[in-house]
C-alpha cells in the first residue's frame, strides 16, 4: 500500500518540537557554524604557512573546540576531484575526507553541536531507502543532532566519475525533490511504502527506528529559482551566497531582495526557512594588521590552483556563485570579512540586518584563527546581542593549536 499524503509529510520539521536540538539552535539571535576544512587547502589556495589540515584528527579537534565555544553546527563539503585536484603547485583539494562519514564519526565524540552531512544524492547508486535508514540511525546515535545538506552537483566531471552524465539544472532539482519526499515518507510513515517512480521505485519499504523529532534536519545550498523552490519546500536551513559577489558592499546591495524572495517562497508554503551565509573571517587586533594578513595570504596564492578552481566553476552551471569576482579570489569563501574584532562584529550585525539568520564561518589558519576569534570576537558578539551569554571561553588545549 502507499503511505500518507506527501504534502502532509514534508511539512514536519524537528524545529516544531521545542526540545529538539534544532529548536535550541534557532533560539540564538545569530546561528553560528564552522565550515570544517576536510579538504586539502581548505578554502584558500595559498602557500602561506598555516596549521589547516584535512585530516580527521585536526577536524575532530576543531569540532570539539567549536562545541566548547558554543558554536551551533559544523559541516563539510562533499568533494569529488581527479588526481591533481584543481591543480597548481599544491594540487588544491586533491585530498578530502568524505563529509558523510566524517560527520557520522563526529557524533560519537560530541554532545551538543549539530552535525550536517553534505551528500550528492544523485550520484552513483544512492536510493532513498538507503539514506532513510542511514539517516534514522545517525539521528539516534546523535540524539537528533544529525542532518543532511542535499546537493545535486553542478560540475561536468563529477558525475562522470560514477559513469553518469550531468543532468540538466532544473531537472536535478525535480529529482532531488522526489528523493527527499521519499525520505520524509519513510521517516514519518507508519505503513509500508510502495511507489512506482518517478526516478526511484520501492515496494513495501519501511524504515525503523523513526527519527526522534519527526525527521533529521534538512539543509540545502541554492541561489537559482529552482533551488530556492526546492529549499523552501523541504529545508530547515538554506546556505546562501551574496548574489553580487564576495565583498561586503556587494552583499549590502544584493542580499536583501535575495533573502526576501526566499522568505516569500517559504511563507507561501506556510513555512519558515533560516538563511545562513559563509563568511571568510580574517581578523587581527587592528584593521591594519588584518589587511596585512589578508595581503600575505593573497601574496602567497597558488595561481595555478586559483585558475584551476575558477575554471571548474565556469564549466559548471551553479548560479549561486555566478558573480563572484576575480578580486581576492585566492582568499576563498563566499563573503570576506576583514578587520579588527569590532569590525568583524559590525559585519555580522550588518548581515543580520540584511536578513541573514546565521553565519557559517571559515578561517585561513583554522585552529589559530578560531582561538583568536574565541578570545576577541565572541565576547563582543554577546555584548552586541548576536549570541546568548555563555560561560567565557577558556584557552584551547595545546594539542588543538598544534594542528
Closest among 159, 168, 381, 400 to 281, alpha carbons compared: 381
The CA distance from 253 to 139, in Å, is: 39
Percent share of the chain, pLDDT over 90: 83
Phi, psi dihedral angles at 42 (to 5 degrees): 55, -130
Report the domain count for the chain.
1
For residue 314, what pLDDT is reported? 66
In a domain, 302, yes or no: yes
**Residue 196 pLDDT > 60:** yes
Establish if 394 belongs to a structural domain: yes
**pTM (2 d.p.):** 0.92
Residues 6+ apart with CB under 8 A from 301: 45, 46, 47, 330
Cα 357 vs. chain centroid, distance in angstroms?
A: 14
| Each residue's pLDDT tens digit, 243-252 | 998 999 999 9
Q: Is residue 177 part of a domain?
A: yes
Position 214 in a domain: yes
Q: What is the pLDDT of residues 98-116, one digit of tens each?
A: 999 999 999 999 999 999 9
The answer to whether residue 224 is domain-embedded is: yes
Can you give the residue range of the structural domain that contains 326?
Answer: 6-402
Integer angstrom CA distances of residue 273 from 90, 237, 245, 265:
38, 6, 23, 9
Domain presence at residue 1: no
pLDDT class of 283 with cuts at 50, 70, 90: very high
The predicted structure's pLDDT at residue 315: 62
Domain CATH number, residue 355? 3.20.20.30
Kindly state the average pLDDT of the residues 326-352.
Answer: 90
The grid cell for 172 is: 536535478
In the predicted model, is pLDDT for residue 375 greater than 80? yes
State whether the Cα torsion 354-359-360-366 is positive or negative: positive
- Count of Cβ atoms closer than 10 Å to residue 57 Cβ: 11
Amino acid at each position: 500500500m502507499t503511505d500518507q499524503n506527501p504534502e502532509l509529510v514534508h511539512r514536519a520539521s524537528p524545529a516544531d518540537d521545542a526540545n529538539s536540538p534544532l529548536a535550541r539552535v534557532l533560539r540564538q539571535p545569530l546561528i553560528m557554524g564552522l565550515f570544517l576544512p576536510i579538504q586539502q587547502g581548505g578554502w584558500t589556495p595559498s602557500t602561506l604557512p598555516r596549521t589547516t589540515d584535512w585530516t580527521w584528527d585536526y577536524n575532530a579537534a576543531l569540532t570539539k573546540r567549536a562545541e566548547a565555544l558554543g558554536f551551533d553546527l559544523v559541516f563539510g563539503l562533499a568533494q569529488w576531484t581527479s588526481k591533481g585536484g584543481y591543480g597548481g603547485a599544491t594540487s588544491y583539494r586533491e585530498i578530502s575526507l568524505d563529509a558523510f562519514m566524517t560527520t557520522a564519526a563526529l557524533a560519537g565524540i560530541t554532545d551538543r553541536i549539530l552535525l550536517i552531512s553534505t551528500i550528492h544524492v544523485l550520484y552513483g547508486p544512492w536510493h532513498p531507502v538507503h539514506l532513510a535508514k542511514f539517516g534514522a540511525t545517525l539521528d539516534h546515535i546523535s540524539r537528533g543532532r544529525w542532518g543532511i545538506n542535499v546537493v545535486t552537483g553542478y560540475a561536468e566531471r563529477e558525475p562522470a566519475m560514477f559513469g553518469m552524465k550531468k543532468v540538466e539544472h532544473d531537472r536535478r532539482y525535480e529529482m532531488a525533490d522526489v528523493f527527499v519526499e521519499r525520505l520524509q515518507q519513510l521517516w514519518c510513515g507508519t505503513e509500508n511504502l510502495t511507489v512506482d517512480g518517478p526516478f526511484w521505485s520501492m515496494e513495501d519499504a519501511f524504515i525503523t527506528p523513526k527519527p526522534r523529532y519527526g525527521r533529521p534536519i534538512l539543509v540545502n545550498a541554492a541561489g537559482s529559482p529552482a533551488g530556492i523552490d526546492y529549499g523552501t519546500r523541504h529545508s530547515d536551513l538554506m546556505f546562501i551566497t551574496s548574489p553580487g559577489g564576495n565583498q561586503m558592499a556587494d552583499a549590502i546591495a544584493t542580499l536583501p531582495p535575495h533573502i526576501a524572495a526566499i522568505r516569500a517562497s517559504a511563507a507561501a508554503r506556510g513555512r519558515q526557512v533560516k538563511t545562513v551565509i559563509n563568511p571568510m573571517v580574517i581578523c587581527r587586533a587592528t584593521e591594519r594588521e588584518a589587511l596585512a594578513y589578508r595581503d600575505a595570504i593573497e601574496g602567497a596564492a597558488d595561481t595555478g590552483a586559483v585558475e584551476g578552481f575558477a575554471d571548474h566553476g565556469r564549466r559548471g552551471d551553479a548560479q549561486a556563485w555566478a558573480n563572484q569576482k576575480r578580486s581576492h579570489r585566492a582568499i576563498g569563501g563566499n563573503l570576506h570579512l576583514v578587520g579588527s574584532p569590532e569590525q568583524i562584529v559590525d559585519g555580522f550585525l550588518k548581515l543580520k540586518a540584511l536578513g541573514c539568520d546565521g553565519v557559517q564561518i571559515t578561517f585561513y589558519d583554522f585552529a589559530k584563527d578560531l582561538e583568536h576569534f574565541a578570545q576577541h570576537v565572541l565576547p563582543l558578539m554577546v555584548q552586541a546581542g548576536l549570541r546568548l551569554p555563555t560561560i567565557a571561553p577558556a584557552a584551547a588545549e595545546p594539542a588543538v593549536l598544534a594542528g
